[in-house]
Amino acid sequence: MQTVFLTGIWPPDVGGPATHGPDFAEFLVGRGHAVRVVTMGDDEPSVRPCPVEVVSRARAFPVRYAEVALRGARAARRADVVYATATYAAASFASVVAHRPLVAKLVSDPAYERAVRYRLCSDTLEAFQAASGAAVTALKRARTLALRRARAIVVPSAYLAEIARGWGLDPGRVLVLANPAPAPAEVVPEELEPRTIAFVGRLTPQKDLGTAIEAVGRVPGARLVLVGDGPERERLERLARDQDGRVTFLGPRPRAEALRVLAGADAAVLSSAWENLPHAAVEALSVGTPVVSTAVGGVPEVVEDGVNGLLVPAGAPDALAAALARVLDEPGLRDRLAAGARASVERLSRDAIYGRLERILLEAAG
């Protein structure tokens, strides 16, 4: 099988899709398939398990997006299937022009993300589904039109799958397939200071890391390390100046190093305002680190309160601080949660998840 893979980010970019892209491409290549990636980036790709074409982000967005679509269409003519984890309209165009089937991995509601970015909406993801107005309606129609062509739409959480089925898509084509857990045996924990909490991911408004910084500041002796980069970094660094050096920004790290940081931390934190099913939660659990998270989106599908982590309401620094303090100070709690962490993601092995995704692509390709 020859696959053209369209994605919006690729290492050295950070985030869930940037983790998934090279990992799944490497899996497919190892199974004897051919893969060609078309993506956008600021730099040359730092990981190349297959040929990777990068369209520079220095170009205006309409120009670079059109270039992704055109390059995707050219590559798709020599492929069996188009696979997209973002840039869904470009992938749909490539699929139509090349007369090739499309499979999409849906990691968010792209209409909602654009509405928030363009300041058309300040609601929650759930409330946005009922939002109206000319601009919002146009974004929703464009999203659904791009996805409607897909033979299969793979969604990591039942939460987002239920939302997506409300967009007028064929419900039978919306398939729930969680993000895979990395192999824990490969991870040697980073040596971190005692009482360290770790965050891994993109520094974006969605992650609401101001709440995490505020919460850690309320826990005596606690420290926070953040692995990743993103548009919120400057603002968050300003907030962290009031924390007496207890917040450290490590910047983007390769996945192997990020896993070492998670393995060395007392807990991982997710303070997100909304989520699908973040890779960081699965990764932390896979290395035996409890997760303290807001109970949003698909997070409760993998983080079970009192079993492998603790769940708190979104936007509540007091509740998040109290949960972090429990993990650090309550006798035996951290050990009990850590004991439940690895076992909770055993069903999400890389071979099992990617094997099913491979079958979905093969079935779409006929």
The domain defined by 184-347 folds into Rossmann fold (3.40.50)
276 and 126 Cβ atoms separated by less than 8 Å: no
Per-residue confidence (pLDDT) for residue 184, from 0 to 100: 61
**Per-residue confidence in pLDDT tens, the chain, 366 aa:** 999 999 999 999 988 888 899 999 999 999 999 999 999 999 999 999 999 999 999 999 999 999 999 999 999 999 999 999 999 999 999 999 999 999 999 989 999 999 988 989 888 899 999 999 999 999 999 999 999 999 999 999 999 999 999 999 999 999 999 999 887 666 889 999 999 999 999 999 999 999 999 999 999 999 999 999 999 999 999 999 988 899 999 999 988 899 999 999 999 999 999 998 888 999 999 999 999 999 999 999 999 999 999 999 999 999 999 999 999 999 999 999 999 998 999 899 999 999 999 999 999 998
Question: Is the separation of the CB atoms in 312 and 344 below 8 Å?
Answer: no
Q: How high is the pLDDT of residue 201?
A: 94
Q: At a CB cut-off of 8 Å and minimum separation 6, what does 8 contact?
A: 17, 39, 40, 85, 86, 87
Edge-to-edge strand ranges of the sheet holding 309-312: 247-251, 223-227, 196-200, 267-270, 291-294, 309-312
Given this model, what pLDDT does residue 243 score?
A: 87
Q: Domain spanning 2-180+349-365: which superfamily? A: Glycogen Phosphorylase B; (3.40.50.2000)
pTM over 0.75: yes
DSSP tag of 180:
P
**184-347: same fold as 2-180+349-365?**
yes
- The edge-to-edge listing of strands for the beta sheet with 102-105 is 52-56, 34-41, 2-6, 81-84, 102-105, 152-155, 174-176
In the chain, domain spans: 2-180+349-365, 184-347
